[in-house]
């Protein structure tokens, strides 16, 4: 038996049938758009993967370059340290050599001084009038000799039995001939007068001090003739 469809339903079906081509066309268009979007998504994904791979490679290269630079810097530091150690060792060695040569030179000079002293003649007896004697660095003598110059025309003063003289103190180096002297004129030759003259700060003591200072610096060797004189 045939089913009877109402007019309203029939109209509805006609409307749906007439709208189907439009829906189909829209569905086809959406499918194409979807395919396009999927293709674009795949392309973007591939590009992103390529970019990620490139970035990773660049990062790896940068890390390798950084490691190489760090290794080179460490090697440079080690070379500089080795060079500094070599310079320090060389300077220390040169300083030790200089010190050793200086010590050797000092020993040689001391030996030469001792040889010069050994070659000197034995000291002669202290001459008359020598009140002080010093020895320089190589054995030459510096004598302080007191001379009295009598005034034959003067008469003894009242209450004095001593002669009237001039006192002269002479400091003479037998090595280099360095000479200094002090004189006190017209005095009576007594023990007290001589002591006062020899111990006076500006006379005898001054010459003693000068003779001592000269002995500490003089290296002149006395010749036998000079020593005898």
Helix (H, G, I), strand (E, B) or coil at 190: coil
Tell me the two tokens of residue 185. 């004129």
pLDDT tens digits, 181-202: 999 888 888 889 889 998 988 9
pLDDT confidence tier of residue 160, bands split at 50, 70 and 90: low
Per-residue pLDDT at 143: 92
The DSSP secondary-structure symbol of 167 reads: E
Per-residue pLDDT at 180: 92
Check whether 224 has a pLDDT greater than 70. no
Per-residue pLDDT at 6: 67
Most distant CA pair in the chain: distance in Å?
201
Per-residue pLDDT at 3: 62
Check whether 158 has a pLDDT greater than 70. no
Per-residue pLDDT at 214: 93
Per-residue pLDDT at 155: 62
pLDDT tens digits, 30-85: 888 888 888 888 888 888 888 888 888 988 888 889 888 988 889 889 898 889 89
Its pTM surpasses 0.75: no
Check whether 1 has a pLDDT greater than 60. no
The residue length of the chain stands at 229
Domain-by-domain residue ranges, the chain? 7-120, 130-217
Per-residue pLDDT at 161: 67
pLDDT tens digits, 92-130: 989 999 999 999 999 999 888 888 777 766 656 778 889
Beta carbons of 172 and 143 less than 8 angstroms apart:
yes
CA distance 174 to 177: 6
């Amino acid at each position: 038996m045939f089913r009877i469809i109402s007019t309203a339903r029939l109209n509805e079906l006609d409307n749906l049938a007439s709208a189907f081509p439009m829906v189909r066309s829209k569905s086809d268009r959406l499918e194409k758009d979807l395919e396009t979007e999927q293709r674009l998504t795949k392309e973007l994904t591939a590009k992103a993967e390529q970019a990620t791979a490139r970035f990773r490679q660049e990062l790896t290269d940068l890390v390798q370059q950084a490691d190489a630079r760090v290794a080179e810097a460490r090697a440079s530091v080690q070379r500089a340290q080795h060079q500094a150690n070599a310079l320090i060792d060389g300077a220390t060695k040169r300083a030790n050599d200089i010190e050793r040569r200086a010590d050797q030179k000092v020993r040689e000079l001391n030996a030469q001084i001792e040889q010069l002293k050994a070659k000197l003649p034995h000291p002669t007896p202290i001459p008359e009038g020598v009140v002080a004697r010093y020895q320089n660095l190589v054995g030459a003598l510096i004598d302080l000799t007191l001379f009295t110059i009598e005034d034959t025309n003067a008469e003894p003063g009242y209450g004095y039995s001593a002669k009237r003289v001039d006192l002269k103190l002479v400091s003479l180096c037998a090595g280099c001939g360095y000479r200094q002297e002090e004189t006190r004129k017209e005095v009576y030759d007594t023990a007290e007068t001589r002591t006062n003259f020899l111990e006076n700060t500006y006379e005898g003591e001054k010459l003693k001090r000068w003779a001592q200072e000269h002995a500490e610096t003089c290296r002149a060797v006395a010749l036998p003739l000079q020593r005898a004189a």
